[in-house]
Structures are given as C-alpha cells and as structure tokens.
Chain A
C-alpha cells in the first residue's frame, strides 16, 4: 500500500493521460506564443548568445568557499602568491568561454589543480543551469575555493603527477554543494591532469576517433572536455570517473590513463626518444617498466616516545549500547604539512582489514594529541577492541612497515 495514496493517485492520473494521449498531442499543438513568453525567450536567447560570444560577459560575484579553510588542517589555505591560471584551454561542446585550469599551492605543501571556465585570464564558473540563478555572468573561482569543488579540484603533494577523469561536471563549471555531481543531461566529461616536464601529449578517443593534444610545456598540464553522456560509438564517454597519480617520470610509477575513460595514452619524452603509457596491453613504444612496484621509502627513525601506553576515556554515546571515546597520546614525530600524519587504526582480527581514521592536521613533536572517536566498538570482535596510533609518511600503507610505525597500542574493554 502506498505511503502517500494522494500522490500515487495523482501520478497514476498523469500516467494515464500520458499513455492514452496520441503522440502528436503529447508533443503539443503549435499555437501562437503569448507576447510575454516571446519576450522571455528572446531575452534568454540573447543571454545565451552573450555567453557563446565570450566577449560580452559581465563578471559577477566570486564563488564563495563552502567551508572555512585552516592553515594547519586538511588542505591548508592557499599560500600567498602561490596561485596561477595555466595556459591550457579546451573549447566547451556548447561554446562560450573555454575550460581552463589553475594551480594553487597551499600552506600544507599541497598543489591543488582546479578546473573551470576561463575568461579574460581568470578561472571561474558561468551562471548557467541554475548556477547563480542563471544570470549568464562569469563568476571567478578564488583560490580559497579548493575545498568547494569536489571532482573539479584535485590536491596532491608537490612533484606528484596526476591524471583524472571525471564525469558529471556541470556545464557551468560550478559543482553543486550537496548531492550529485550534476544534471547528467547538461554535464561534461572532463579529463585533466598535471603530467610533469617529461610529458609531451595525451591521446583520447571520442566517437571512435583518436585525437592527440599537446600538453603545456614544463607543467605537462592538459584539459579535455566532452559532452557528458552520448550513446553509440562514444561508449567510453560519460559514465565513469577515476584517475591515477604517481611519480613525475614515466617508468617510475607515473600516471596511467584510466582504462574506463576516454584518455587512451600519454606520450613522454625520455632523452632523445619518446614512449607511451597506454591502456593498450601492447603499445608500439611502451615506456620502460618501473624498477619496483612502489617508490622506496626510508624507514623512520626510532623515537623514545614509541610504544608508550596512551589514554582512552570511554563515554556513552546517544545510540543505546554504543560508546564514543577520547584518545590521548604524545606525538613522537612532528607533522609539519600534509606529507605525513598520524592515524588511529583498529585492527579487526575477526574481519578482513583494518579501519583507519586519519588525523589530518599539523602536529608539533612532543605535543599531546586528543582525538575523539565515534562508535568505538563498532568493529569489535568480542568485548574488546584494539586501538593503534600510527605515524605514516604520505603514500605509505597504514600498516606497520616502511614509512609507517606504531606509536602505541591499547586494548579497550567494553563496560559490562
């Protein structure tokens, strides 16, 4: 039985009308349009033409950051003088200002790349598809919006190269603040990346045709923009997202094209020769294989603060039978930026894997760190749970080994 019978009845009436009406009437009879509608359509057409022409756009208010950034937490804040719009651009399928890219260096030693619409040397978004009330204006994307545009922004440590494929970015360039990546009918499929100084070009497939695009010299930046969803031969396009990152040099674990995306190969120059990282298993001139699966990471120095007991205080949570906790430990190593960090791991011997909560902020060596934990016993195998404080260099696996040490460990019993 329906929870909302009134809605169901109304829906069924509409469905009956729709299915019983002849096709021609479903499309609507041609009637003279009222004058007010004509005026509105002309205004809309003029606004669209203004956007398409790209030369007569007005600049509106800048995009506001979704959340306040903190210099020592998460991504950090944009470093002074560390942001610039790159020279790359790619035409939008519907015209208007091309797409471009800017890089933003942050106080936590990350490099964020943002994509958006490029107009008069600035990166921004357009007032289309509901963004900025469809005002048809250009709205700049300030560097502090790096936390605002998931999918249209990617942050990684300096020197790490990246190749991304993202579907569902709205034509406006403005990501919705909540929910989906956008309306697929109006969305764009975007491939973008920073491939470093050895990269020469990227090749992508569109409607069964292979096309190559030179990357920006020195940075190896590129951006490719295609319609979000198309049927037929362009089956690669529009229904996936993903990407890869790695070291700057090919053959040392550099980015690879996403097999489910439109990018098919990346061409690098190594000395006097060129090679390709390709989705094809048998490329004609493949780049040399990496010498090792992962970049080497020196083991961390020992510290007298390791393996010290730490304090865990349990608290009853709002959910009956559930507990939260406050964990405190003394940090043996400093975390000066986003390239290293502490995390709280909860090994679960009766399940597969280990649950890890990162502590994503700068920490001074010797500081007492307080961490709130929710649902402490959520993954307990019995009446107790093991908690480990780990310190890892960025990129290291959150398990003891090269690049990761156990700072301390505790077994916490559920109160009876």
Chain B
C-alpha cells in the first residue's frame, strides 16, 4: 500500500483508514487527546479522573470503530458523544468504568505526579479554558456545548431549558466576556 500523509486526512478518513491501519488511529488519538483531557478535567475537576475517562473513551472508540457512520455526524461529534456517555455513566454509577479498556486489552495506567501536572496545566496556563471556568454557569454550559462539543442550538435549548435565542445570547455573551478578559490580561 502506498504511503499516505495521514496528517492531511480528515478525522472521518482517519477512522475509516484505522480499520486497517493503526497509524491512522494514532494520528486521530493525537488530535483529540488534549480535547478529551480538557473536557473531562473541566467536567470532573480532577486530573486522575480525566485521565481515566479519556482512556476509557479511546478504548470504547477503538472497540466501536466499525460502527462509526460518517453520514450521521462528524468523527469529533462521535467521539464527544462517547465522552458524554462515559461522563453520564460515571455520574450515575459514581465510578469510572474500565470495561472498554479490559475488552481492548489495554493496561491499567500508573499516573505519576508529572502526568497529573500536565493535565492540570491544561486549565491553569492562562488558556481560554481558565477563562471559561470563570464564566457564570449558564454561559459556561452554553459555550462548552456549542463551541467545544459542537452541538446544535436547538439541542442545547432543550437541555438548558431555554429558547434557542437565549442559548445564542449566552454563547455570544460568554465568548465576548472571554475576549474582554483576554484583552485585560494583555
């Protein structure tokens, strides 16, 4: 098979190629490792849980690679869908599951202080996530849902129990608030 520059492939192409070529999955992993850690670190407030959940999500994604249907949504949405499901399961059951990792034969992680520190740096390095943490909760939910998770305004309106217009306002206001604070910091 001719060598291919996987870094130029779309996420959806990587998942398709990943059925036969593990390197494509490596590129996909690299694209989303930080995003997953950020998502869970923000949701749980703990670096160890973020690492645990991230591992479970990638294992679950690997296990259900053949079920990915690009016609139903982007690979990003698919991965975040798995992530949100894992998070909901964790909140429901009060523990992080390891089923997917066991199924895929992935070794348990031994997290060092440096590992945890690198995850915490994601939210404490003055990045936009730190600004996100400072937003009022209604704006934060709207910005996270729309910008990080790329969900529809209509879906968010249902979840946040408000109109689409209010969700748009919250996203707009939240982003402007973050821009304003970035400006203050410069």
A355-B58 contact, Cβ under 8 Å, with A6-B115, A10-B106: no
Q: B169, A353: Cβ atoms under 8 Å?
A: yes
- A151 in the interface (beta carbon within 8 A): yes
- What's the nearest-Cβ distance from chain B to residue A92, in Å? 20
- A176 in the interface (beta carbon within 8 A): yes
Q: Using Cβ atoms and an 8 Å threshold, which residues of chain A touch B85? A: 179-180, 182-184
Which residues of A344-363 have CB atoms within 8 Å of chain B's CB atoms? 348, 351, 353, 355-356
Q: A2, B184: Cβ atoms under 8 Å?
A: no
A176-B81 contact, Cβ under 8 Å, with A14-B62, A231-B71, A379-B173: no
Q: Using Cβ atoms and an 8 Å threshold, which residues of chain A touch B13? A: none
- B113 in the interface (beta carbon within 8 A): no
Distance between Cα atoms of A183 and B110 in the complex (Å) = 29
Q: How large is the interface on A (under 10, 10 to 19, 20 to 34, 35 or more residues)?
A: 35 or more
A182-B109 contact, Cβ under 8 Å, with A12-B22, A15-B62, A166-B158: no
Distance between Cα atoms of A167 and B152 in the complex (Å) = 12
Q: Using Cβ atoms and an 8 Å threshold, which residues of chain A touch B26? A: 8, 11-12, 15
- B181 in the interface (beta carbon within 8 A): yes
- B143 in the interface (beta carbon within 8 A): no
- A159 in the interface (beta carbon within 8 A): no
Residue of A whose beta carbon sits closest to that of B55: A7
Which residues of B105-125 have CB atoms within 8 Å of chain A's CB atoms? 105-107, 109-110, 115, 118-119, 122
Mask, A133-159, CB within 8 Å of B = 1, is 100000000000000001100000000
Q: Using Cβ atoms and an 8 Å threshold, which residues of chain B touch A11? A: 25-26, 29, 55, 58-59, 62, 106
- What's the nearest-Cβ distance from chain A to residue B81, in Å? 6
- A3 in the interface (beta carbon within 8 A): yes
- What's the nearest-Cβ distance from chain A to residue B130, in Å? 9
Residue of A whose beta carbon sits closest to that of B73: A239
- A307 in the interface (beta carbon within 8 A): no
Q: A181, B155: Cβ atoms under 8 Å?
A: yes
- A415 in the interface (beta carbon within 8 A): no
Q: B33, A2: Cβ atoms under 8 Å?
A: yes
Q: B72, A231: Cβ atoms under 8 Å?
A: yes
- B172 in the interface (beta carbon within 8 A): yes
- B98 in the interface (beta carbon within 8 A): no
Residue of B whose beta carbon sits closest to that of A378: B177
Q: B33, A8: Cβ atoms under 8 Å?
A: yes
Q: A4, B58: Cβ atoms under 8 Å?
A: no
Q: B109, A7: Cβ atoms under 8 Å?
A: yes
Give the residue of B135, B161, B177 whose beta carbon is less than 8 angstroms from that of A379. B177
Distance between Cα atoms of A378 and B140 in the complex (Å) = 14
Q: Using Cβ atoms and an 8 Å threshold, which residues of chain B touch A229? A: 72
Q: Using Cβ atoms and an 8 Å threshold, which residues of chain A touch B33? A: 2-4, 7-8
A150-B92 contact, Cβ under 8 Å, with A7-B58, A11-B59, A355-B169: no
Q: B154, A241: Cβ atoms under 8 Å?
A: yes
Give the residue of B22, B136, B160 whose beta carbon is less than 8 angstroms from that of A18. B22
- What's the nearest-Cβ distance from chain A to residue B56, in Å? 10
- A402 in the interface (beta carbon within 8 A): no
Question: 11 pairs across A/B with beta carbons < 8 Å?
Answer: A7-B51, A7-B55, A8-B26, A10-B107, A176-B92, A181-B159, A320-B184, A348-B176, A355-B173, A377-B180, A378-B176
A interface residue numbers (CB < 8 A to B): 2-4, 6-8, 10-20, 130-131, 133, 150-151, 164, 166-168, 176-185, 229, 231, 238-243, 260, 318-322, 348, 351, 353, 355-356, 374-375, 377-380
**13 additional contacts (CB under 8 A) given A322-B134, A378-B176:** A7-B55, A11-B25, A11-B29, A12-B22, A19-B20, A176-B91, A179-B84, A185-B67, A239-B73, A243-B158, A319-B131, A320-B185, A375-B180
Q: Which 8 A-B pairs have the closest CB atoms?
A: A180-B84, A378-B177, A176-B88, A321-B184, A242-B154, A15-B22, A14-B104, A15-B25
